[in-house]
Amino acid sequence: MADTAFAPRVFSGIKPSGGLTLGNYLGAIKRWVEMQEDPTYETIYCVVDMHAVTVWQDPADLRRATREVAASMIASGIDPERSILFNQARVPAHTELGWLFSCVARVGWMNRMTQFKDKAGKNAEKVSLGLYAYPALMAADILLYHATHVPVGEDQKQHVELTRDIAAKFNHDYGVDFFPITEPVTEGPAMRVMNLRDGSKKMSKSGESDMERINMLDDADTIAKKFKKAKTDPEPLSSDLAGLAGRPEARNLVDIYAGLADISAEAVMAEYGGSGWGVFKPALADLAVAKLAPVSDEMRRLLDAPEELDAIMARGAERADEIAQPILARTYDIMGFVR
């Protein structure tokens, strides 16, 4: 359990390494909105641009994606009055604490990070040092606010474990009880959305082909086309969920329907079990369009006024910095820095 001396505070972030996908929406933002609605928590949500540059980003693309991600969050229900919403580069305390934590974390811990192995692949010698070290910056993002809860997808759970290890080692080495032992929150409405062309891979914003993902800004025709072309097998939907075992692409489409409709996968099968793809895929496309159109309309409105979006993020950064500065100052003090 998180230390009860720490007030319940949520931190989570999304990288602006491209525009958001249905995966980010169903896997992360939907739950963030729920946590914002829960009066137990103070919620802080960040566009983690410093993480995006761990791989090459064209400057114009980074600028556009930073605003697009902020717009997606707001259009999906993150209220910048109730939650603190900002981009990481506006609060330099993240990188300051990130450096201190890269001196606390051990190389052996980093070597165990499976996401690094997945992302670096056979190219480990050629990727940036930042990609290797980024879990220490992620620990700083979280602990800079003494966040007690971090809603993340399963793929990020290992990084929250590392955050706990860093907090525990810092507390132990300096004989303090200063950083909370943060809880990953993986239960709830969130789900893992898989790639439309390969059901063994997750849907990613930076995946190779645009046909493998639904982008939040896709129009109705594009959404219909992508679902129509989504990989499936020739069999129709089975009569029940158990019949979808070993059919990851079919299961993924059923799960996406369930996530969008806010019902269980069993309920989807009760309605569509035995249907052919010619029936199910158009129904899924219609549902996705109905759910995403109001969000993308609002996103377009926000993106037409970038100065308003920037002002929202600047105000959020001020509020974030107010919480961060005393925690950073105390960290420096505990470590013995003369400042």
Length of the chain: 339
> Contacts with ligand AQP: how many residues (CB under 6 A)?
19
Interatomic CA distance for residues 49 and 51, integer angstroms: 5
Helices (H), the chain: 22-24, 30-37, 49-52, 59-75, 93-102, 107-111, 114-120, 129-143, 157-174, 220-229, 248-261, 265-272, 277-303, 306-335
Min dist CB 335 to ligand AQP, Å, is 29
Q: Is 119 a catalytic residue?
A: yes
199 binds ligand AQP (CB under 6 A): no
Verify binding: residue 17, ligand AQP, rule CB under 6 A: yes
**Smaller CB separation from ligand AQP, 151 or 180:** 151
205 assigned to active site: yes
Q: Which of 28, 137, 138, 303 binds ligand AQP (CB under 6 A)?
A: 28
| Contact status, residue 88 vs residue 50, Cβ threshold 8 Å | yes
Q: Are 26 and 191 in contact (CB under 8 A)?
A: yes
Binding status of residue 331 toward ligand AQP by CB under 6 A = no
Contact 223, 289 (CB under 8 A): yes
156 is a contact residue toward ligand AQP (CB under 6 A): yes
For residue 216, state whether it binds ligand AQP (rule: CB under 6 A). Answer: no
The per-residue b/e assignment along 53-70, b for 16 or more CB within 10 angstroms, e otherwise, is bbeebeeebbebbbbbbb
Q: Which of 90, 149, 159, 205 binds ligand AQP (CB under 6 A)?
A: 205
Q: Which of 30, 205, 226, 281 is catalytic?
A: 205
Task: Say if CB 103 and CB 16 are below 8 A apart.
Answer: no
Which is the catalytic residue, given 30, 117, 201, 202? 202
53 binds ligand AQP (CB under 6 A): no
Q: Under the criterion CB under 6 A, does residue 281 sit at the interface with ligand AQP?
A: no
Residue 153 touching ligand AQP (CB under 6 A): yes
**Nearer to ligand AQP (CB atom), residue 46 or residue 237:** 46
**Nearer to ligand AQP among residue 22 and residue 273 (C-beta):** 22
Residue identified by tokens 């009880």 is 177
Left, alpha or beta for 102 (phi > 0: left; psi -120 to 50: alpha)? Answer: alpha
Kindly tell me which residue out of 40, 111, 114, 206 binds ligand AQP, with binding defined by CB under 6 A. 206
Q: Is 202 a catalytic residue?
A: yes
Using CB under 6 A, which of the segments 84-92, 199-207, 280-288, 317-325 binds ligand AQP? 199-207
